[in-house]
Amino acid sequence: MKIGITCPYSWDVPGGVQQHIRDLAEALIDEGHEVSVISPADDDTPLPPYVTGAGRAVPVPYNGSVARLSFGFLSVSRVRRWIKEGGFDVLHVHEPEIPSLSLLACWVASGPIVATFHTAIPRSRVLLVTYPVVRTGLEKINGRIAVSEAARTTLVEHIGGDAVVIPNGVATRRYRKAEPLPGWPGPGGAIGFLGRLDEPRKGLHVLLKAFEVLGPQRPGLRLLIAGPASDAEEVLHRVPAELRDRVVLLGQVSEDDKVRVLHSVDVFCSPNTGGESFGIVTAEAMAAGVPIVASDIEAFQQVLRGGEAGELFVTGDPDDLARAAGRLLDGPARRAALSAAALAAVADYDWSVVARAVTSVYETVVLGSTQVAVTASGGEFP
């Protein structure tokens, strides 16, 4: 299949939507499809071969923050040309309610269009989708995908119509192998944590409390903590002074270093107290094959297959966490078994699975339809 994908945000700025599009495009290419992505990008940004740059994105205030978007008649003509030359069987737009390339693509294109909605639209923006220009664009969409139940609910309630939920995948391949950070995990063992340090729902405080039990019992055990914090010093001061030099804070790390962190520890801990619908970080740790100890919130029960693919502890209970982590640290055989089970379980969430689900949406919308083309009036003003 020839697939054209539009990305609304600048390719050179890290972000969830861009990452999703990259992973999806690569998974679709692996499945043997022909994929072309158009995205705003600076002229000197090196782009993967499947990405067409639509010119520099302009920073504009949108929704209370500054977003880098492509708009204006020059962008319209670039999108037109891309669609004309692409000869796509299906056009897949992402976030068509954002004033950028996806909305423009909906406007100028005719033929089978699939749209993916990533975020739940805040109430303040709901009004905006009623503007005729947006309505016209959204009405051309033949199939809608929401990446979460929350995103789907917003669509159903505020825009009307329905969407299939296809959650984000995990690029398991990227996590499989990496060099541990120098000196890690070390002879005394190490426990890892990834996530915002000062977001209570990520549960770092539970892990730190558990370390107060584990640390004195196991003189060599260390904590490796990566993630942004507004005040890292304050985090460190929550640890008793005698244990402090065994807690290593890396701050925010790059994607590559994140994988290395996962390979630098004996046990990975997901102490979240709630607020996770899927637990992407936990799934990534599974893809790296690290044995996992996680709180027993619903999201983790599901992804860890009720404890088959990782040790579960009572949510928010540091003593139970200390016991569970202790069992893993003392049992190399148990660790190896959990690691293998996690690798097997996470395959269900791989992007190749997501790509196949998305492909079946494509196949549905192209039935009885012609190729994607530029509308007669597209790019002209109605």
Residues that bind another protein (CB under 8 A): 58-64, 66, 69-76, 99-101, 103-104, 107, 122-125, 127-128, 131-134, 136-137, 381-382
Closest approach of another protein to the CB of residue 107, in Å: 5
The nearer residue to another protein, 76 or 166, going by C-beta atoms, is 76
Residue closer to another protein (CB basis): 72 or 188: 72
**Minimum distance from CB of 109 to another protein (Å)?**
12
- Say if residues 97 and 134 touch (Cβ distance below 8 Å): yes
Residue with tokens 């319209």: 76
C-alpha 263/C-alpha 162 separation (Å) is 41
CB of 199 to another protein, least distance (A): 15
Residue 97 Cβ vs another protein, minimum distance, rounded to whole Å? 8
127 vs 367, beta carbon nearer another protein: 127
Are 97 and 116 contacting, i.e. CB atoms less than 8 angstroms apart? no
Q: Nearer Cβ to another protein, position 48 or 72?
A: 72
Q: How far is the CB of 73 from another protein (least distance, A)?
A: 5
CB of 231 to another protein, least distance (A): 19
Closer to another protein by CB, 81 or 174: give it: 81
CB of residue 160 vs another protein: minimum separation in angstroms?
Answer: 18
What does the alpha-carbon distance between residue 51 and residue 61 come to, in Å, rounded to a whole number?
A: 26
Q: Which is nearer to another protein, 15 or 55 (CB)?
A: 55
Q: What are phi and psi of 156, to 5 degrees?
A: -60, -45
Minimum CB–partner distance for residue 50 and another protein (Å): 23
Dist. CA 378–CA 382, nearest whole Å: 8
Query: Which two structure tokens, joined as six digits, stand for 164?
Result: 């299939």
Q: Which two tokens stand for residue 289?
A: 């094959």
* 245 C-beta neighbours (distance < 10 Å), count: 10
Locate all alpha helices (DSSP H) within the chain, ordered by sequence: 16-30, 73-86, 101-108, 123-126, 132-139, 149-154, 172-176, 204-217, 232-236, 255-262, 280-287, 298-303, 318-330, 332-346, 351-366
Q: Which helix (H) or strand (E) segment is 373 a member of?
A: strand 373-374
If we measure between CA atoms, which residue out of 294, 361, 325 comes closest to residue 189? 325
- Quick one: 134 or 299, whose CB is closer to another protein? 134
CA–CA separation, 128 and 120 (whole Å) = 14
Q: List the one residue out of 203, 201, 188, 212 whose CA is nearest residue 265.
A: 188
Do residues 27 and 357 touch, judged by C-beta distance below 8 A?
no
Please report how close the Cβ of residue 59 comes to another protein at its closest, in angstroms: 5
Of 74 and 340, which CB lies nearer to another protein in the complex structure?
74
Phi-psi region of 72 (alpha: psi -120 to 50; beta: other; left: phi over 0): left
CA end-to-end span of the chain:
32
CB of 54 to another protein, least distance (A): 11
Of the two residues 133 and 314, which places its CB atom closer to another protein in the complex?
133
Measured from the CB atom, the residue of 106 and 355 that comes closer to another protein is 106
CA neighbours closer than 13 Å in the CB half-sphere of residue 224:
26
